Amino acid sequence: MLKNIIPKWLNGLAVGTLLFSNTLLWGCIVLILGLIKLVLPMAWVSNLLHSAYQGWCSGNRLGLKFSNAKVTTVINGDVNKLGWYLLISNHFSWLDIVVLSAIDVLPAPKFFLKDELKYVPLIGSGAWAMGMPFMKRISKAQVVKNPKLKGLDVERTKHSCRNFRSHPTTIINFVEGTRFTAAKHQAQQSPFKHLLKPKAGGVAFALEVLGEQFDAILNTTLMYQAQSNHICASFLRGRLSEVTINITLVPVSSELLGNYQQDSQFRARFQASINQLWLAKDSELAMAYAQRNAEAVLINNKEIKLP
């Protein structure tokens, strides 16, 4: 293929341009359709919006196909493209959004986004048009100053999640709330070696609103093989060699459904359940990195022995 012939930096530049153009094109179309939907809140406009969003996902899929990165997706269980799922994942890079949106076998992915992202051109406007939830956490100090704010973040999330009932959807939640970096890991004093501390609130809210509609939880682990810890920079230089996505279906049991905000006992149990998933995910990453390092040592030893 052409990508094996051209220089890595040129491949990275070309793929980066393709992904940017893809977001620019479909982002503008989604924004226009979103404005039309404000005036004409009709089903056909909503259907066009979802078709445009699928166009963006297909463009991301094409970009990854032409990149130097080998993308491997392993799904343990059966996924129905016409179903509803809650996907929970670790978070390494901005590229995570492109990677997860490009998984063809999943229903249309929608993201829980930080409130600050609503002001990012195209990304924020496109997410607004699609009715994706912007997470604006209200601190205990703010509630003390203004008790009327209590539960407002929960209600905002519930309202956004209700918009997903009419279309098969994969709601994606980066449970750590932010991208992993060594500095954040150290500042948190995270008990996990390769992960930040999980934040269970967003997951619990989604389950509280749509738990009975979800077919399963998709417990997802993302792994990258790059020449530096800056995943996006490596990708844009054509130096990201491998992306691995491991997905395991977890049943939505009654133990995972409850009032996270007001039931302290349920909240403690739910947090313990998420922590157990994160412990297993941390072990999965540790084993994968150990195997990768062992393979690298083996390759280097073989290279040294060459005449």
Query: Is residue 13 domain-resident?
Result: no
The pLDDT of residue 2 is 56
CA distances from 257 to 113, 203, 207, 209 (A): 22, 10, 6, 9
Q: Which helix (H) or strand (E) holds 141?
A: helix 140-145
Task: Answer whether residue 233 is part of any domain.
Answer: yes
Does some domain include residue 221?
yes
Reply yes or no on whether the pLDDT at 28 is more than 80.
yes
Q: Hey, what amino acid is at 124?
A: G
The Cα 239–Cα 232 span in angstroms is 10
Instruction: Choose among 198, 212, 185, 209: nearest CA to 271.
Output: 198
**Is the pLDDT reported for residue 214 higher than 80?**
yes
Q: Does 248 reside within a domain?
A: yes
Q: Is the confidence at residue 293, as pLDDT, over 90?
A: no
- Is residue 175 over pLDDT 70? yes
Residue 132 within any structural domain of the chain = yes
What's the rounded mean pLDDT across residues 14-38? 92
Q: 168 and 84 in contact (C-beta within 8 Å)? A: yes
Collapsing DSSP to helix, strand or coil, 150 comes out as coil
Instruction: With a cut of 70, say whether residue 51 has pLDDT above it.
Output: yes
Write out the DSSP string of 201-262: HHHHHHHHHHTTT-SEEEEEEEEEEESSS-HHHHHHTT-EEEEEEEEEEE---GGG-S-TTT
Over range 296-304, report the average pLDDT.
54
pLDDT greater than 90 at residue 59: yes
Asked whether residue 77 carries a pLDDT value surpassing 70, the answer given is yes
- DSSP conformation class of 91: -
The arithmetic mean of pLDDT across residues 209-236, rounded, is 89
Whether 136 is covered by a domain: the verdict is yes
- The arithmetic mean of pLDDT across residues 199-218, rounded, is 86
For residues 86-103, give the mean pLDDT.
Answer: 94
**pLDDT of 305 above 60:** no
Following CA atoms 174, 179, 185, 189 in sequence, which dihedral angle do they give, to the nearest 10 degrees? -40
- In the structure, what pLDDT confidence band is assigned to residue 304 with cuts at 50, 70 and 90? very low
Which of 195, 157, 152, 150 is CA-nearest to residue 176? 195
Chain centroid, CA 46 distance in Å: 23
Whole domain around residue 138: which residue ranges?
70-305
Q: Which long-range contacts (CB under 8 A, 24 or more apart) does 60-63 make?
A: 60/19, 60/22, 60/98, 60/101, 60/102, 61/102, 61/104, 62/18, 62/22, 63/15, 63/18, 63/19, 63/22, 63/98, 63/102
List of residues 6+ apart from 36 with CB closer than 8 A: 45
Q: What is the CATH number of the domain that holds 146?
A: 3.40.1130
pLDDT at 113: 74
- Indicate whether 64 pLDDT > 60: yes
Cα angle 52, 57, 59 (rounded to 5 degrees) comes to: 95
Number of domains in the chain: 1
Whether residue 297 is contained in a domain is answered as: yes
Do the domain assignments include residue 43? no
Strands 169-174, 108-111: pairing kind: parallel
- Long-range contacts at 179-183 (CB < 8 A, ≥ 24 apart): 179/91, 179/92, 179/93, 179/94, 179/96, 180/90, 180/91, 180/92, 181/229, 182/229
